[in-house]
Amino acid sequence: MNKLSQIALQLCDVETEEEAIKAIKRVSKFKNNEAIAEVVYDEITYKFHYFNKLTQQEQQSQYADKVFESYKGLPFKVQIDFGVLLQEKLDGNNYKYSARIPSLDNAFKHKQSTITDKKSLEQFKIDMFKQLRELMERTYEDTRNLIVGIFNVMFYTYKLIDTGSRMPYLDKHLKL
């Protein structure tokens, strides 16, 4: 087992493994395998769930389950993006490696899902694997950079706004 496959889901062989690992380490923000960042905007809390060292496709399903469990059955919206390792062919047999971290800009390009129960979670997982498959099918004809590995996944989530009697700003109108 090579070193790259211990920190990334390797999609194809790389010419210089050390350079590929250096590219990932340059952009890797988190030392832990998991991190959650929260941003509050207009009284809504947006969460970014980051999972590093993505080495198997099955881990994505486990990560989706963790995100679902963190909302304790409450409905939420989710979008996803991947951190990818890119290989650019220079002249001859020389390659340059760079890494792109997952971002909200790229997450917005993909389908947004509403998770309300286990059934919708399973549908999200199917869509997530379809998105991964599309990402893996890129070639040099599609882009000048070939995606050779996936090292990180980000789930961008937010809880759906409460409705009806659960709306906090309606409390001031209730006489209890």
CB 59 within 8 A of CB 134: no
- Whole-prediction pTM value? 0.77
CA atoms within 13 A on the CB side of 97: 21
Q: Model confidence over 78-88: pLDDT tens digits?
A: 999 888 888 88
Cβ-in-10-Å burial (0-12, 13-18, 19+) of 135 comes to: middle
The rounded distance, in Å, linking the Cα atoms of 23 and 53 is 14
Q: Model confidence over 94-150: pLDDT tens digits?
A: 888 888 888 888 777 777 889 999 999 999 999 988 888 887 776 555 567 788 888
- Using DSSP, state whether 165 is helix, strand or coil: helix
